[in-house]
């Protein structure tokens, strides 16, 4: 089971002129194979057969390769192409240990060859050396293969389903495309590689002992290599005639044939050659082989395709495929490199984020800053002395939660939560503000009744995850609706007053709305209850945002210099003033142009779950248009905006997901003819896009923690970041890459990440609890 480093079969897009050298006996062929694509792929071949004198077969190895180089020069001269540097594939049908596609060490000569100084050497290097010695032409030796692999590649050109090669002639061998994860001799788990089975040696370990007859034993004993190649000796043409002769002699001696008479010819070893057998059998071998395969593997639909052009064409096709893969790989990497960020670029992103944070905090420059740095009026994180029952309302999408949070202090310090999820009908989301807030209050009343607390009056924290301007903790002026909400009469209004008005209209209960916060601040407070060092909140899900505890003296939009206040950064808008233009790609610009808010939230569009799938889809469209993916054939579904969901990135990048499962996702997208190679490339695109997102997020976070360190004039900062969001939680590599980036860009900060398990609703209740503690 020898790796051949042939990683793909022809896909029908190969084109160009390729040389092939087919060496496997006393004659060898040199071929020129021209592959063209004009609607339909076409192959034209010219070839010349050259003899190898016996004295060179058994003489000096360098002289043998000099002769091959001379014949190659003659062939090129005859075709008038000696001045062109063409790629060449080398079929070398002797036992070799292959270490690269273009490197093969001869293990031992066979077939009458005994040229000295070749065994244990790389035959490609020897051929290159002989060509260089001549100095009058040059070629690019791309691949070296054996005849079995050549046969598979020749037939693979005519039938893209051909993934097995079989030789049954003088000798026998097979090769096939194996999954890389099963090849422990080669690094890497992705894709497939052709394996040269060298199956003629099957049985050398005794596996065929119960099948071998006295005739097989006699043939083996009289062979040049007793005990070796036992499977081959039961199958191949070199031995089949002798096997028939021994059977005939036995039958004659037992008077079962020829009236017990034998002739001198029949008694002569090797006289009954295999061609006699095939002449008598009238080519039944193939039919019997096909029938037996169908019987043994009834679940496999196996088609046999006879090679008409030999392994020389196959060597050229291996070269053509290698050239196609190399050219396509270079073009793909050129495109993907635009999505890869260097350490220096990430440092620059961190610096620019830091600069925008300072501008956003400044009264003079606040309105011009892309990062708004909005005061939240949350002045403290939990200290463990909070106590009481609190309601929380968590509104940020088509579903919202009502929670009862019971906070206990002292030795039995704990938080107990009860919650219920309610839907918001589409017509309510897009109706009037009164209808929306009446629906919310109806759900609060239902929850209180459900909890057996009808008519209770409790302090309430309101997580309201839409852009707001706050002037105090219990006031939030809605700047604009997002996430599909369009309820009229709300923008420019205080959402706390809208909620209170709806409560008064119902006249069933009264609530003390103590705090209105966004989900990022809620996440920081939730995690802050578990870890007092948590002074940063981060959301990386459908959208992205961050908040942190800033020194009051730096928050110029709010009176007072004492203590700290949590600042809601609204960092998704970073880049809206051109700060990210030099790292934006054509794919980012397409996604931005087609979005509901072109030119806005540029940082968010490069990081968050709402947009990553769309970036990947546009890269795949570009690859396909250039013929680098899916054989250049687009599916209508892949052209559909939003069809490549970000959850697919998490699924495709999962280490546990086999490539066949990746293909099933692609088939869901209408790409029914996608190949294993396509799956690998899609996985690479997902990896590059997700990695960039995690690095950009890490660069922003590095700016935040470094600012806190500098604010506090510390050499070293230990701090915890509370994190929530589906992208952070579900993507298999996002969190690790983000943490790695923060470490690299802020080495003087020791950052711990604490995942929020209870959402921002609990955080709103805790903010309310802290506010009540401070008030009392």
pLDDT of residue 39: 62
HSE of 186, CA atoms in CB hemisphere, 13 A: 26
- The residue-averaged pLDDT of 486-497 equals 94
At 192, the pLDDT band (50, 70, 90 cuts) reads confident
Give the residue from 323, 311, 312 showing the smallest Cα distance to 101: 323
Residues 386 and 520 in one domain: yes
For the chain, percent of residues with pLDDT exceeding 90: 41
Q: Residue 133 — φ and ψ, nearest 5°? A: -60, -40
Q: Are residues 327 and 393 in the same domain?
A: no
Beta partners for residue 36, in sequence order: 42
* Range scoring the smallest mean pLDDT among 377-386, 440-449, 696-705: 377-386
Q: Do 76 and 150 fall into the same domain?
A: yes
Span of 179-193, 267-281, 375-389 with lowest mean pLDDT: 267-281
Residues 388 and 522 in one domain: yes
80-102: b or e for each residue (b if 16 or more CB lie within 10 Å)? eeeeeebbbbbbbbbbbebeebb
Per the structure block, which two tokens stand in for 408? 């206990």
Q: Contact, 72 vs 131, CB < 8 A?
A: yes
Q: Does residue 671 form part of some domain?
A: no
CATH of the domain at 514: 3.30.420.40
In terms of domains, do 382 and 333 share one?
A: no
* Residue of higher predicted confidence among 696 and 198: 696
Of 620 and 768, the one with more pLDDT: 620
Same domain, 57 and 127: yes
pLDDT over threshold 70, residue 445? yes
What's the confidence (pLDDT) of residue 274?
47
Q: Are residues 328 and 382 in the same domain?
A: no
Please give the Cα distance from 339 to 362 (Å, whole number): 33
* Three-state secondary structure call for residue 469: strand
pLDDT exceeds cutoff 50 at 249: yes
pLDDT of residue 278: 46
| Average pLDDT value for residue range 379-385 | 80
Mean pLDDT of 285-296: 89
* Model confidence band, residue 233 (pLDDT cutoffs 50, 70, 90): confident
In a domain, 59, yes or no: yes
| Alpha helices in 37-104, H assignment, sequence order | 54-57, 61-79
What pLDDT, on the 0 to 100 scale, is given for residue 279? 46
Calculate the average pLDDT of the chain. 87
Distances in Å between the alpha carbon of 692 and those of 79, 181, 738? 51, 27, 9
Residue 249 within a domain: no
* Predicted confidence (pLDDT) at residue 110 exceeds the cutoff of 90: no
Give the model confidence (pLDDT) of 4-52 as tens digits.
888 777 777 778 888 888 887 778 889 888 887 766 667 788 889 999 9
Residue 447 domain flag:
yes
The residues annotated with a catalytic role in the active site are 401, 465, 519
Pick 457 or 448 by higher pLDDT: 448
Rounded to an integer, the average pLDDT of 281-299 is 83
Query: Does 517 have pLDDT greater than 50?
Result: yes
* Same domain, yes or no: 46 and 111: yes
Same domain, 393 and 322: no
Mean pLDDT of 604-631: 92
Task: Say if 31 falls within a structural domain.
Answer: yes
Phi-psi group of 79: left, alpha or beta (phi > 0 → left; psi -120 to 50 → alpha; rest → beta) = alpha
The whole domain housing 497 covers: 375-530+760-775
Residue 68 resides in a domain: yes
**Averaged over 136-146, what is the pLDDT?**
85
Domain count for the chain, please give it.
2
Residue 200 lies in a domain: no
Q: Which of 428-432, 663-667, 724-728, 750-754 has the highest mean pLDDT?
A: 750-754
> Which two three-digit tokens encode residue 496?
């706390």
Measure the CA dihedral 630/635/641/647, to 10°.
-60
* End residue of a domain, out of 314, 339, 364: 339
Both 148 and 46 in a single domain?
yes
- Phi, psi (rounded to 5 degrees) for 136: -105, 0
C-alpha–C-alpha distance, residues 384 and 386, integer Å: 6
Among 204-218, 350-364, 388-402, 755-769, the range scoring the smallest mean pLDDT is: 755-769
Is 381 within a domain? yes
- Give 750: exposed, middle or buried? Use CB within 10 Å, 0-12, 13-18, 19+: middle
pLDDT of residue 383: 76
Sign, CA dihedral 150-155-160-166, equals negative
Q: Please tell me the distance from the alpha carbon of residue 264 to that of residue 273, in angstroms, as a whole number.
A: 15
**Residue 553: pLDDT band with limits 50, 70, 90:** very high
Give me the percent of the chain exceeding a pLDDT of 70: 94
Using pLDDT thresholds of 50, 70 and 90, give the confidence band for residue 492. very high
What pLDDT is stored for residue 658 in this prediction? 64
- Quote the pLDDT of residue 280: 46
pLDDT reading at 381 higher than 60:
yes
663 — pLDDT class (breaks 50, 70, 90): confident
CB environment 330-343: b (16+ within 10 A), e (fewer): eebeebbebbebee
Per-range mean pLDDT, top range of 8-17, 150-159, 301-310, 413-422:
413-422
Model confidence, pTM: 0.75
392 lies in the same domain as 498? yes
Cβ–Cβ under 8 Å, residues 521 and 566:
yes
Whether 405 and 504 map to the same domain: the answer is yes
For the chain, report the end-to-end CA distance as a whole number of angstroms: 78
**pLDDT score, position 638:** 86
What are the beta bridge partners of residue 494?
477
Of 12-16, 419-423, 757-761, highest mean pLDDT: 419-423
Which helix (H) or strand (E) covers residue 441, if one does? helix 433-450
Q: From 284, 315, 339, give the residue that closes a domain.
A: 339
Whether the pLDDT of residue 680 is over 90: the answer is: no
Final residue of a structural domain among 285, 314, 339:
339
């Amino acid at each position: 089971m020898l790796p051949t480093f042939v990683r793909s079969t022809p896909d029908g897009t190969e084109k160009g002129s390729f040389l092939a050298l087919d060496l496997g006996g006393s004659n060898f062929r040199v071929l020129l194979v021209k592959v063209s694509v004009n609607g339909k792929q076409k192959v034209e071949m010219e070839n010349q057969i050259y003899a190898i004198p016996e004295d060179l077969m058994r003489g000096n190895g360098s002289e043998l390769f000099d002769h091959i180089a001379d014949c190659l020069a003659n062939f090129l001269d005859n075709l008038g192409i000696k001045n062109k540097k063409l790629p060449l594939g080398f079929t070398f049908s002797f036992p070799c240990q292959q270490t690269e596609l273009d490197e093969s060490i001869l293990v031992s000569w066979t077939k009458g060859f005994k040229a000295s100084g070749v065994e244990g050497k790389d035959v490609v290097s020897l051929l290159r050396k002989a060509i260089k010695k001549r100095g009058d032409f040059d070629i690019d030796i791309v691949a070296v293969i054996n005849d079995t692999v050549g046969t598979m590649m020749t037939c693979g050109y005519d039938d893209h389903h051909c993934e097995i090669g079989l030789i049954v002639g003088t000798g026998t061998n097979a090769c096939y495309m194996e999954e890389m994860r099963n090849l422990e001799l080669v690094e890497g788990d992705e894709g497939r590689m052709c394996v040269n089975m060298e199956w003629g040696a099957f049985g050398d370990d005794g596996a065929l002992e119960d099948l071998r007859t006295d005739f097989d034993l006699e043939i083996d004993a009289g062979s040049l290599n007793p005990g070796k190649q036992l499977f081959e000796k039961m199958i191949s043409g070199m031995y089949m005639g002798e096997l028939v002769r021994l059977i005939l002699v036995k039958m004659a001696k037992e008077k079962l044939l020829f009236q017990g008479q034998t002739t001198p010819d029949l008694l002569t070893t090797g006289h009954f050659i295999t061609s006699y057998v095939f002449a008598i059998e009238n080519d039944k071998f193939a039919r019997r082989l096909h029938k037996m395969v169908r019987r043994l593997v009834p679940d496999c639909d196996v088609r046999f395709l006879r090679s008409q052009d030999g392994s020389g064409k196959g060597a050229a096709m291996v070269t053509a495929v290698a050239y196609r893969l190399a050219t396509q790989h270079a073009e793909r990497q050129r495109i993907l490199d635009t999505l890869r960020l260097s350490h220096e670029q990430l440092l620059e992103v961190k610096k620019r984020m830091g600069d925008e944070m300072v501008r956003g905090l400044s009264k003079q420059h606040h309105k011009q800053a892309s990062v708004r740095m909005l005061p939240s009026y949350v002045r403290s994180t939990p200290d463990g002395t909070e106590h009481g029952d609190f309601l929380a309302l968590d509104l940020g999408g088509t579903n919202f939660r009502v929670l009862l949070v019971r906070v206990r202090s002292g030795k039995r310090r704990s938080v107990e939560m009860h919650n219920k999820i309610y839907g918001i009908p589409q017509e309510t989301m897009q109706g009037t503000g009164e209808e929306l807030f009446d629906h919310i209050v109806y759900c609060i009343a239902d929850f209180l009744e459900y909890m057996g607390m009808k008519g209770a009056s409790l302090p309430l924290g309101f997580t309201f995850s839409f852009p707001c301007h706050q002037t105090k903790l219990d006031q939030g002026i809605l700047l604009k609706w997002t996430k599909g909400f369009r309820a009229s009469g709300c923008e420019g209004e205080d959402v706390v007053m809208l909620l209170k008005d709806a409560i008064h209209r119902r006249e069933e209960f009264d609530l003390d709305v103590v705090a209105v916060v966004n989900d990022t601040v809620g996440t920081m407070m939730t995690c802050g209850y578990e870890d007092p060092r948590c002074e940063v909140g981060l959301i990386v899900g459908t959208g992205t945002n961050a908040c942190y505890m800033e020194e009051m003296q730096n928050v110029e939009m709010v009176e007072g210099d004492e203590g700290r206040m949590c600042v809601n950064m609204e960092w998704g808008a970073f880049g809206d003033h051109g700060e990210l233009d030099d790292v934006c790609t054509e794919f980012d610009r397409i996604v931005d142009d087609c979005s509901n808010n072109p030119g806005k939230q540029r940082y968010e569009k490069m990081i968050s779950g709402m947009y990553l799938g769309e970036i990947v889809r546009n890269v795949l469209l570009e690859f396909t248009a250039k013929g680098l993916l899916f054989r250049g054939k687009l599916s209508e579904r892949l052209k559909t905006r939003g069809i490549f969901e970000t959850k697919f990135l998490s699924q495709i990048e999962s280490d546990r997901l086999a490539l066949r499962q990746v293909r099933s996702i692609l088939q869901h997208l209408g790409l029914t003819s996608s190949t294993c190679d396509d799956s690998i490339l899609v996985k690479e695109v997902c990896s590059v896009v997700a990695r960039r997102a995690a690095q950009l997020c890490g660069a922003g976070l590095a700016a935040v923690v470094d600012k806190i360190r500098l604010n506090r004039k510390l050499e070293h900062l230990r701090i915890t970041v509370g994190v929530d969001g589906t992208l952070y939680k579900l993507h298999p590599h996002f969190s690790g890459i983000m943490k790695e980036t923060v470490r690299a860009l802020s080495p003087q900060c020791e950052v711990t990440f604490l995942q929020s398990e209870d959402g921002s609703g609990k955080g709103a209740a805790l903010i309310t609890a802290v506010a009540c503690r401070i008030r009392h």
